[in-house]
Amino acid sequence: MPRSLTPAYLGSLIADALSMPVHWYYNREALDRDHPNLDEFCAPLKNHPDSILWRSAYTALNEKGDILHDQATCWGQRNVHYHQNLTAGENTANFKLARLLFQQITAAGGYSEDAWLALYIEKMLTPGWHRDTYLEEYHRGFFTRYAQGKDPRKCGIKDEHIGGLATVPALVAALRDEGQSQCLGREEIRQTVKAHVALTHRHNNVLRAADCLTRLLIDLSEKVPLREAIMQCAGDWISTNKASAWTRQPDRAIVGGKLSPACYIDQAFPAALYLAWKYHDDFDAAITANARVGGDNCHRGAVVGSLVGISQPESLEKWTAQLKEVA
């Protein structure tokens, strides 16, 4: 019998929630000072040493673009934490969307692009729904175009960030395990994932990474060992020979030295694959290492948490019980 992919989805939520208080920390001394023990879910501090909100701007063209709501006043200010309103164990906006997607497919018995876009728009325009202060560029680009009157199917932008993978484990798990009245095959799932991600991220490398993650998840559900799956599916993203050699070095020497900890897909996806490779048999170590190297650890968590989590569902139980609003 194939493995359930629901643990992959839950693993992605857990990795995001653990990383949330230190999301986009690039000053590792500050990370260690502010959160010396990332062995449990924590709430964020109000001040963020690396926050870019002071030089960020988004102005809604009209009510159809108002996705910041009451948090708009925090933009332009220094040291504001991106997730200042979240509590311990709560997910960031992109993973709340993943949860929403999983619930929608499960309830409907299948995936619909139009139904998803309608729900995405509804929730993002609902004050208080996502609770985040900062929203990624793809949300701002989408809703700027939507406010201009464009068809929602034409509102996606050429975004090249790993945040585009946040909903992939939820989508693959729902299509494979929960939502379909008739089980979809590998190629149908791959095409569905690429079409879904392209609604918001029209960047070829993000779509390639989404497809690679999909293939990895399906292979893992068919009980292919994680390192073997990475060798088979991800050779154009990471050298497994290098990954094996790198495992003898500190994590921060690799993610932050060899590979950037930032959000751009060409570095972030290989960094996530490397962490999954190194900690293939230890879910707690994998998600903790991902959080502690800083940078875009929440969105790398979609990869690390899902890949390592699927084969160790028993390791997820203590974390899942403490997640907020788990589907």
Q: What percent of the chain has pLDDT over 70?
A: 98
Q: Would you say how long the chain is, in residues?
A: 327
Mean pLDDT confidence for 303-322: 95
- pLDDT-based confidence at residue 327 (cuts at 50, 70, 90): very low
Instruction: Report if residue 138 sits inside a domain.
Output: no
Per the structure block, which two tokens stand in for 322?
Answer: 């403490």
Q: How many domains does the chain have?
A: 1
Q: Of 59 and 327, which is predicted with more confidence?
A: 59
Q: What is the mean pLDDT of the chain?
A: 96
pLDDT for 181 = 44
Instruction: Report if residue 151 sits inside a domain.
Output: no
pLDDT for 182 = 54
Q: Which residues of 62-72 are buried (b: 16+ CB within 10 A; e: fewer)?
A: eebbbbbbebe
Residue 176 belongs to what domain range? 6-50+78-131+159-320
Does residue 284 register a pLDDT over 80? yes
Q: What percent of the chain has pLDDT over 90?
A: 94
pLDDT tens readout for residues 13-36: 999 999 999 999 999 999 999 999
Does residue 11 sit in helix, strand or coil? helix
pLDDT tens readout for residues 42-84: 999 999 999 999 999 999 999 999 999 999 999 999 999 999 9
Of residues 45, 4, 8, the one with CA closest to residue 301: 8
Instruction: Report if residue 111 sits inside a domain.
Output: yes
Does residue 7 sit in helix, strand or coil? helix
Instruction: Report if residue 126 sits inside a domain.
Output: yes
What CATH number is attached to the domain comprising 254? 1.10.4080.10
Amino acid occupying residue 208:
R
Instruction: Report if residue 107 sits inside a domain.
Output: yes
Instruction: Report if residue 127 sits inside a domain.
Output: yes
- pTM, 2 dp: 0.97
Instruction: Report if residue 57 sits inside a domain.
Output: no
Instruction: Report if residue 188 sits inside a domain.
Output: yes
Q: Got the DSSP string for 167-213?
A: THHHHHHIIIIIS-SSPPPHHHHHHHHHHHHHTTB--HHHHHHHHHH
Q: CA torsion sign, 173 to 175 to 176 to 180? A: positive
Does residue 179 register a pLDDT over 90? no
